[in-house]
Amino acid sequence: MAKLTMAQALNQALAQALEGDERVLILGEDVGRDGGVFRITDGLIDRFGPERVVDTPLAESGIVGTSVGLAMGGMRPIAEIQFFGFIYETMDQIASQAARVRFRSMGRFSAPLVIRTPYGGGVKAPEIHSDSLEALFVHTPGIKVVTPSNPYDAKGLLLAAVDDPDPVLFLEPMRLYRAFRDEVPEEPYRVPLGVANVVREGRDVTLIGWGASMPVVLQAADELIARHDVMPEVIDLRTLSPLDEATIVQSVQHTQRAVVVHEAVRTGGLGAEVAALVQERAFLYLEAPVGRVSGYDTPYPMTMFEDLWLPDATQVVSAALAAVRY
């Protein structure tokens, strides 16, 4: 089995989606001849032609608006937004149009499109290129929000997103594109949406993360085991909307403590929603308040402060120990 980076796994998934369904097409800025800003669509225009791998003008609202129309007309568009911070230009097309098609038409129409976009920090990108805005879309009923943390999940989740009958926002942690390799089967496969992954089983505290926070969480888990004799259970949410509530609740009922880790700003972040869920459904099991490790309530900082702004394993270890010793 080949070991691929996340970038290679995504490229393979896109190629197989195009091969498997002639309704699938890709559109976005520089996705064709240049292969995308991170080369995720590299080589696809040579295999499938410019009518299925479409270079668009520099107009994010036009990319998503066109995709909504194509999807409602029976196609399966995959739109690429070069960086998540540019998603603001498309909010009307996503939140007011794509996410509401099924509800507005009483089920007569749907918009089966995938919007792919890199997100998150850690690569010293300019302003508005590194924001983690997932909570905006988790707060938007009608659209699923998905983010992988490894190459295997990236391929399987993307193919599942293409199959989905409703719009999916597919968030790709850009600092993980080429961070490591993973065994990825050559044949197409699906990782089901809405199902979290219990990465490690444990007994003392549940660590919950997603996307680029997962390597941080796993590093903290290693340190907790090696230095503190604390056995954490680790959950990768994989799908942020809808949440796999059952897996979260079941884990916290077992460990009786939880810490949520994300690099988005703290206030109104998804960590608050997870903490509320645990409080509502596992309150009588809790031995400590639910902890949160997050970014700060500021705009994403300039590159020289990036490492100070992003959550790190030391913060996660401290939060986990605070929960265990409460």
Q: Are 136 and 223 contained in the same domain?
A: no
**Do 208 and 261 touch, CB atoms closer than 8 A?**
yes
Q: Are 161 and 36 contained in the same domain?
A: yes
pLDDT for the residue numbered 128: 83
**Do 152 and 183 touch, CB atoms closer than 8 A?**
yes
Question: Alpha-carbon distance 74 to 142, whole Å?
Answer: 18
Q: Are 93 and 127 contained in the same domain?
A: yes
Contacts of 215 (CB under 8 A, 6+ apart): 149, 176, 179
Question: Alpha-carbon distance 275 to 293, whole Å?
Answer: 12
Domain at 229, CATH number: 3.40.50.920
Q: Are 217 and 164 contained in the same domain?
A: no
Q: How many domains does the chain have?
A: 2
Give residue 213's identity as a one-letter amino acid code: S
**Do 261 and 294 touch, CB atoms closer than 8 A?**
yes
Question: Alpha-carbon distance 263 to 302, whole Å?
Answer: 15
288 falls within a domain: yes
Q: Are 173 and 201 contained in the same domain?
A: no
Q: Are 92 and 151 contained in the same domain?
A: yes
User: Domain of 236?
Assistant: 197-325
Per-residue pLDDT of the chain (326 residues; tens, 9 = 90+): 899 999 999 999 999 999 999 999 999 999 999 999 999 999 999 999 999 999 999 999 999 999 999 999 999 999 999 999 999 999 999 999 999 999 999 999 999 999 999 999 888 888 888 899 999 999 999 999 999 999 999 999 999 999 999 999 999 999 999 999 999 999 999 999 999 999 999 999 999 999 999 999 999 999 999 999 999 999 999 999 999 999 999 999 999 999 999 999 999 999 999 999 999 999 999 999 999 999 999 999 888 899 999 999 999 999 999 999 99
Residue 176: name the closest of 138, 136, 145, 216 by CA. 216
Question: Alpha-carbon distance 19 to 44, whole Å?
Answer: 11
Query: What tokens were used for 88?
Result: 């603001």
Q: Are 22 and 142 contained in the same domain?
A: yes
Q: Which residues are catalytic?
A: 129
Kindly report the pTM of this predicted structure. Answer: 0.97
